[in-house]
Amino acid sequence: MITEATRERLAVLSAFVESKPTRGRWLVMTHDNPDPDALAASAALTLLLRRAFGRRAEIGYGGIIGRAENREMVRALGIDLVHVRGLNWRSYQHFALVDTQPRTGNNQLPPEQQPDLVFDHHPQRKASYQAGFSDIRRGYGATATLLAEYLLAAGVPIPRTIATGLVYAIRTETQDFSRGPSEGPDKEVYDALLPHADKGRLARILYPRLPLGYYRDLQCALANLEGVGTLVISHLDRLEQPDIVPEIADLLLRMEGKTWSLCTGLYQDRVYLSIRTSNPRAEAGSIMRRLLGKRGKGGGHGMIAGGWVPIEKAPGGDVRALQRQLAARLARALKKNPERIEPLRLEPGAVPLANGRLAIVAG
């Protein structure tokens, strides 16, 4: 399960880290609003730096951890991380980026600070070539898979909590291996770690208690459904946390007859958006970057993509107009007529029963 590429890169990584003073502290940074892949991968890299190289390392993040599953993951697995508001940047001499890359606009590493390490599975950005060491594997469904391989190659024992996090991250990032190949490094690492995962904690993460705000956002998403052809769209209002945007995009993609979904929502001074597709040959990240142009920041890979646009870019200060504009641009990119985007009404319907009668489902 440990690829030859990982063994070779571990040797290079070892030489690079060992060349740094042992007293220097490391800060492992995730992307803003970290998801399970970023959380598990950063925990794995921190463990690698500590156990394999004897370095002091901590995890830092920006934004919020908003989704109920992600908050439960941090609690249940005891992942120790510090928000950027509580960081003293002068305390760290070395920096690593995990599941993100420099100057992408989705992490809090100061733009003038060159990262020592970069680990990711999204398309490589130009700025990443300037890092001291980078390993960016586009053939991997999750950054967690990559960092798990490094731990295994280095012979570092993986604690039960981190094994659980890695398993959950691979599962969610690949959507149970429906995104990308069903076989390969992601599946191999998952199968190897699953027997060592804590099933009780994994269940707690999978099925957390949900706040009332979740149902309020869900109600808003369903009330604002639109579509054209195989594209389904929903625009949310102001949000308590931005993680609901990709969650709704995932949910919309399950709608019968739809192969693309877009969800947008307002959080603080940005409009966040997520694109999902069931087309395995699609390049959602490339479409997202074309969609945003120079107005915002975004990216992705394969079947998923995310990004944001400052509210100040809204024409005439009309945020809803900006959301509609983004939807129209996506429709055109998919060769659909944006003028034909129309509401999708959830009307009461008749459901057949076993006795042949009809039950009327209230709206």
Query: Structure tokens of 90?
Result: 């002068």
Strand order through the sheet with 117-120: 81-83, 57-61, 26-29, 94-98, 117-120, 133-136
For 294-307, the DSSP string reads TSSEEEEETTEEEE
Q: What is the mean pLDDT of residues 251-266?
A: 96
Residues 221, 335, single domain; the answer is: yes
CA distances from 172 to 70, 154, 168, 220, 286 (A): 11, 25, 6, 24, 22
Query: Could you say which of 179, 206, 233 is where a domain stops?
Result: 206
Contact 330, 291 (CB under 8 A): yes
Q: What is the mean pLDDT of residues 283-305?
A: 88
pLDDT of residue 362: 47
Nearest residue to 163 (alpha-carbon basis) of 30, 44, 10, 36: 44
Residues 155, 287, single domain; the answer is: no
Residues spanned by the domain of 306? 214-339
User: Where does the pLDDT of residue 301 fall: very low under 50, low under 70, confident under 90, or very high at 90 and above?
Assistant: confident
Phi, psi of 255 (to 5 degrees): -65, 135
Reply yes or no on whether the pLDDT at 348 is more than 70.
Answer: no
Contact 197, 167 (CB under 8 A): yes
pLDDT of residue 280: 84
Average pLDDT of every residue of the chain: 92
Query: Structure tokens of 52?
Result: 């394999």
C-alpha to C-alpha distance for 312 and 316, rounded to whole angstroms: 9
Count of all residues that appear for the chain in the document: 363
Pairing of strands 297-301, 304-310: antiparallel
pTM: 0.87
For 115-164, the DSSP string reads PSEEEESSPPPGGGGGSSEEEE-TT-S-HHHHHHHHHHHHT----HHHHH
C-alpha to C-alpha distance for 106 and 120, rounded to whole angstroms: 13
Q: What is the mean pLDDT of residues 120-132?
A: 90
Q: What is the mean pLDDT of residues 130-144?
A: 93
C-alpha to C-alpha distance for 26 and 272, rounded to whole angstroms: 30
Q: What is the mean pLDDT of residues 343-351?
A: 74
pLDDT of residue 363: 43
Residues 57, 94, single domain; the answer is: yes
The secondary structure of residue 19, as a DSSP letter, is: T
Residues 194, 224, single domain; the answer is: no
Residues 328, 182, single domain; the answer is: no
Query: Domain total for the chain?
Result: 2
pLDDT of residue 103: 87
Q: What is the mean pLDDT of residues 234-261?
A: 95
Residues 109, 75, single domain; the answer is: yes
C-alpha to C-alpha distance for 111 and 294, rounded to whole angstroms: 17
Residues 227, 184, single domain; the answer is: no
pLDDT of residue 179: 76
Residues 145, 222, single domain; the answer is: no
Q: What is the CATH number of the domain that holds 69?
A: 3.90.1640.10
User: In percent, how much of the chain has pLDDT > 90?
Assistant: 79
C-alpha to C-alpha distance for 251 and 262, rounded to whole angstroms: 10
C-alpha to C-alpha distance for 89 and 226, rounded to whole angstroms: 45
Residues 49, 146, single domain; the answer is: yes
Any domain includes 53: yes
